[in-house]
A and B are shown apart, each in its own frame.
Chain A
Amino acid sequence: MRIRGRSFSVRPSSTFSNFRPVDHCPLVRWGRRMMVFGGLLLLSWPFLPGCGSKKENGPPAGGPKPLMIGTTMNIKQPNPVADYYYNILAMLMTHDSLVRFDEGLNPVPQLAVEFGSDTEGRVWTFDLVPNARWHDGRPVTADDVAFTFGYIGKHHVSGGWVSDIIDKIETSGLRVTFRLKRPYSRFLINAGFVVRILPRHIWETISDPYQTQSPGITVGCGPYRFEGFDRSSGLIRFQSNTGYYGQIPGTARVNYRTYGTMDLLALDMIRGQVDLFYQYAAGMPAPYVDKLKKQPGMLCEEAVSMGIPAVLGFNLERPLMGAPAMRRAIALAIDYHQINACLMNGKGMIPSPGLVPPSLPFHAGLETWSQDAEKGRALLSSQGFVHRDSEGGLETADGVPLTLTLLVRSDLWGEGQIVKLLARDLMRVGIKLTVRSADLSTYLAFLKEGDYDLVLFRTTPWGMMMHAGCGSGYFDSRTAGSVNMCRLKDVRFSHLCDRILVTTDSRALESLCGQMQRYYAENLPAVALCWGRSTFPYAKGWRGFKINQIEGGLANRFSWAALEPPSPGATDTP
C-alpha cells in the first residue's frame, strides 16, 4: 500500500485491543519519572534549606519575647483617623485621650491629670500632664488638644458632633476648657475618652485625612510607637515608648497579626504562635473556647459582657409590632436557655426584660425571662388571631396568615443558629417567620427602608454607652434617625434620655437608669436573647493581664501597665 509516496505494511497482530504503549512510549516513561520526582520533591519540600518550619513568635537573638496578638480585624491602612480598625489599635497602643475608663466604667486620668465640670455639665476643664511628649520628641500641648477637636470637627466625617455640642475651646498653659452649647453629662466618655489627641504639627498639613499616606500619621503620645505594618505577613509591630510620661510598659514589643479566619487564629494559638486573641467588642467565639481551655499552654479570663450578643428588636412603626401584647407574646415564646446553650455553649446568662446586662453600672436586677408559650398564645388570641392553618400557624380574622419578616446580618457569627431557634419558638405560638439575611451594607439599607417586623442585632460595650447610655442609642429615634433598630418615638423615653444627659449626680443617674430599664421591661422595644460571658484566652507565662471591655478585652492600657513577659527559659507553649 502506498500513500503519499510512503509505504507501510499492516500487521495483523497490532490490533487495537493489544495496544500497549505504556511499556514503550518514552513520553509515558518520562511522565512516570517526573511524577515520582515531583512527589519526592513535594514530600521533601519542608526539609529543604530555609523551608523548614520555624517559630515566628520566638524572641530575636538576645531580645525579649514580643507579645503576639492575633486578630481577625481587617486592618487596611495604618491611619488612625481613616481606618476604622487601625483606629482601635491606635486607641490601645499609640494615641492617648484626655481620660480613660476602667473596667467599672470610672474615669481615670490619662493626658489630663485633673478634670471636672460645673454642676450641670456645661463647662468642662482638663489640666494636662506636664511631661507628655509625642513620639517624635515634641511636647504635647493644650494647643494640640484644641486643634484635635477642631480638626475632627472639620475633617472627620463623624466629627459633626463637635460643632453641635462644643461652643468654644479655650487654652491657658496646660489647661483646656470646653464651653458647651448645652449641658452634656456624658462629655467625659463621648469626647474625653473617644477622641484620640493628634499632634498638630503633623495633622495641620493634612487637608484630607482619608487620602493621605504621610508616614507621620502614626505618631501619637501613647505607651507604644508604631514600628511598621507588613502587609504580606499581616503583622503590625509596636515598640514601647521609653519616653512615655506614664508607666512604661514592661513588654517592650507588641505585635498584632491579622488572620483571615478564626479557625486559623485558633490553630495558631494552640501551636503557641499567638499569645492573645483580640477582637473589638467580642470575646473568643464559644466554639473555640472549650478547645483552647483544654490546651496546657493556655489560660482564660472571663467577664460578663458589656454588650449583648443577640437582641431581637421590633419595628415599632409596623402596626403589628406596635401592639405591646404582640411583642410580649413573642418574648414569651422564646426558649432563652436553648439560645444560651447554642450561642454561648451554656456559659451565658438568661436575660431580663430590662435589657441592660449586669456588667453595666446601675443594673436594675429585674426578674429574668422564662419561656411561657401558653401565655404567649393566649395573648395572641386576645389580639384576635385564630388557629385555622393546618400547620399550627395563626391567621387574622380575615384569613391572612401571621407571618413576620426577620432581618438578620449574615456576617455575624451564630446568627444562623439563632434564626432556626427563633423560627421554631415563634411557630410554637403560631407565628411564621420569613428571614431576610444580608451583609452589613445591605442590612443597613433594609433597616433604612424599614421593610421588616423583627430585627436581630448585637450591641457592643461602646454601643451600650452611646447617647444616654443603657443602650438608648439603639432605640431613640432622635439619635439614630432613619437607620434605627426599633424607631422608638415615645416621649416618656425621650424625656428619660434627656434627663440622664443633663445629670452628673450619680444617685440621680442610678434612679434614672433604673427607670430606663423598667421602661424597657414594660414596653419591650427589644428583647435581649442572651447575656454573654466573654472569654479571653491567653498564653500561660504572661502575668498581669487586666480585663477592660470598653477597650475590647485583655489588650488594653491597664494590661500594658501591669503586664510581665514570661520569665526566660519558661516554656509557655504546649
Chain B
Amino acid sequence: MLRGKASRYLLSLVFVLSLNFFIVQFLPGDPLVHLLGEETYVHLQTRNPHALTELRAKHGLNRPMVERYLTAMADILRLRLGWSYQYGSPVSQLLFYRLKWTLLLLVPAVCLSAAFGLLLGCLAGRPGKNRVDRVMTPLCLTVYATPAYCLAFLLLLVFAFSSDLLPLGGMTGSAQTGQIPAGDVLRHLTLPLSVLVLHNTAYLAIIMRGAVRQVFTEDYVVTAVSKGLKPRVVMARHVLLNALAPYVAAVAINFGFIAGGALLVEVVFSWQGMGSLMYEAVLARDYPVLSGCFLILALAVIGANLMADLFSTFIDPRVRDDAASA
C-alpha cells in the first residue's frame, strides 16, 4: 500500500513542480527589470542591448524552454537550487532563513488552532440546548468571515498602536549585538500569531462542529448512549474518533501550507516569511527562488497529506481494513 501511495505522491510532486515551472516561465515580463532597476533597464534597451543579452545568457534566460526545464529538474534532484539574482545570495541560504521564521510563526499557529478548534468544535457540536454553540458558532463565523489582514490591522491598532503594548511589526527589535533575546521575538510574534490562531481556530472549529454534529446523528452513538455509556466515553470513543477524520484532513492542509507562509499577515506585520518571499519572487521573476519555494511548498503539502493518510489509517479501522485488503 505504502509503495503505491509513495509512487502516487512522487508523481504528484513531479507534476506540481513541472506545472509551477511552466506557469512562471510563461508569465510576461523580464526578470532583469528587477535586477537592474526600472531606469537602468529602460536605459540599457538602447544604449547597451548587448549587456542585456550577456546578462540573460549568464542567468540562462536565453536558453530554450525545454532545456531550462530539464536543467531545473536536474538541479532540484541534486538539490542545487542556484543563486538568487534578486538577493545576491544562494537560494538555499535564503530559503533556510525565511523558512526558519515561517516555521516559528506557523507551527505554533497551526498547533494551537488545531487544539482550540478541536475543543471548540466538540463543545459547540453537542446536540440539545448548547450555550457554547449559541455563542461560539456566530463568533467563529464572524472571525472566519473577516479577512485575515483586516483582523491583523484591528489587533494591531488595539494592541500595538493605541495601547503601545506590542510592537507594530518586524520580527525582532534592534539587535545591536547579533544576539536576539527570546522575549523580544515572542513580543514580535504575539500579534501575527494571534491573528493566525484566531482565524484558523474559527475555521477548524466550524469544521469540527459539523463533524461532531454529524456523528451524533449516527446510530452507533444513539446505541452507545442508550446502552448507558458515560458521556465522556461516548464523546471520546464514539464521537471524537469518528469526527477526527475530516478534521485531520483540514489540519493537514493547514500544515501543508505552512511552507507557503501567510502572505497577507506577513505583509501587515513586516514578517519576512516564505509568503512574502514567494510574492517578491513572482513580481521580480526570480526563477531560482521561485523554483526553491515551490519545491518546499510541494514537499510540505504532499508530506502533510501523507501524514494525514497515515494518521487516518491509524485512527480509522475502516481505512486500515481497506488498505489491508488492497
Tell me the A residues contacting B by CB distance below 8 Å.
8-11, 14-22, 24-28, 31-32, 34-35, 38, 42, 45-46, 48-54, 56, 60, 74, 76-77, 79, 82-84, 157-161, 164, 210-213, 230-235, 237, 255, 257-261, 263-264, 267-268, 270-271, 273, 411, 438-442, 444-446, 448, 460, 462-463, 466, 473, 478-483
Identify 27 residue pairs between A and B in the complex whose beta-carbon atoms are under 8 Å apart, listed by A's number.
A10-B226, A19-B126, A19-B225, A21-B126, A26-B232, A28-B123, A35-B116, A38-B116, A46-B159, A50-B183, A52-B165, A53-B167, A60-B176, A82-B88, A84-B36, A84-B37, A157-B40, A158-B40, A210-B88, A233-B174, A235-B175, A261-B267, A261-B270, A441-B27, A441-B285, A480-B45, A483-B42
Q: Are B161 and A271 in contact (CB under 8 A)?
A: yes
Q: Closest CB-CB distance, A535 to chain B, in whole Å?
A: 22
Q: Closest CB-CB distance, A1 to chain B, in whole Å?
A: 8
Q: Closest CB-CB distance, A180 to chain B, in whole Å?
A: 15
- The answer to whether B301 has its CB under 8 Å from any CB of chain A is no
Interface residues of B, CB < 8 Å — how many? Answer: 100
Q: Are A255 and B164 in contact (CB under 8 A)?
A: no
Choose from B86, B164, B183 the contact partner of A49 (Cβ within 8 Å): B183
Q: Closest CB-CB distance, B55 to chain A, in whole Å?
A: 5
Tell me the B residues contacting A by CB distance below 8 Å.
27-52, 54-55, 83, 85-89, 97, 101, 115-116, 119-120, 122-123, 126-128, 130, 132, 153, 156, 159-161, 164-176, 180-184, 186-187, 190, 194, 216, 222, 225-232, 234-236, 240, 266-272, 276, 280, 283-285
Q: Closest CB-CB distance, B217 to chain A, in whole Å?
A: 9
Q: Closest CB-CB distance, B175 to chain A, in whole Å?
A: 5
Choose from B33, B86, B232 the contact partner of A444 (Cβ within 8 Å): B33
Query: Please, how many angstroms separate the alpha-carbon atoms of A263 and B168 in the complex?
Result: 10
Q: Are B180 and A232 in contact (CB under 8 A)?
A: yes
Q: Are A164 and B47 in contact (CB under 8 A)?
A: yes
Q: Closest CB-CB distance, B243 to chain A, in whole Å?
A: 13
Query: Please, how many angstroms separate the alpha-carbon atoms of A267 and B168 in the complex?
Result: 8
Choose from B33, B167, B240 the contact partner of A56 (Cβ within 8 Å): B167
Q: Are A158 and B36 in contact (CB under 8 A)?
A: yes
Query: B164: which A residues are within 8 A, CB to CB?
Result: 53, 271
Q: Are A466 and B187 in contact (CB under 8 A)?
A: no
Q: Known: A27-B122, A84-B36, A260-B267. Contact between A79 and B44, CB under 8 A?
A: no
Q: DSSP majority for the B interface?
A: helix
Query: B280: which A residues are within 8 A, CB to CB?
Result: 74
Q: Are B38 and A440 in contact (CB under 8 A)?
A: yes
- B98 — nearest CB in chain A belongs to which residue? A231
Q: Are B184 and A158 in contact (CB under 8 A)?
A: no
Query: A50: which B residues are within 8 A, CB to CB?
Result: 181-184, 186-187
Q: Are B272 and A480 in contact (CB under 8 A)?
A: no
- A443 — nearest CB in chain B belongs to which residue? B29
Q: Closest CB-CB distance, A524 to chain B, in whole Å?
A: 21
Query: A213: which B residues are within 8 A, CB to CB?
Result: 88-89
Q: Are A46 and B33 in contact (CB under 8 A)?
A: no
Q: Closest CB-CB distance, A92 to chain B, in whole Å?
A: 16
Query: A24: which B residues are within 8 A, CB to CB?
Result: 230-232
Query: A442: which B residues are within 8 A, CB to CB?
Result: 27-29
Most B Cβ at <10 Å: residue of A31, A445, A478: A31
Query: Please, how many angstroms separate the alpha-carbon atoms of A52 and B127 in the complex?
Result: 43
Choose from A83, A237, A411 the contact partner of B88 (Cβ within 8 Å): A83
Query: Please, how many angstroms separate the alpha-carbon atoms of A139 and B101 in the complex?
Result: 42
- B101 — nearest CB in chain A belongs to which residue? A232
- B161 — nearest CB in chain A belongs to which residue? A267
Query: B36: which A residues are within 8 A, CB to CB?
Result: 84, 157-158
Query: Please, how many angstroms separate the alpha-carbon atoms of A441 and B32 in the complex?
Result: 9
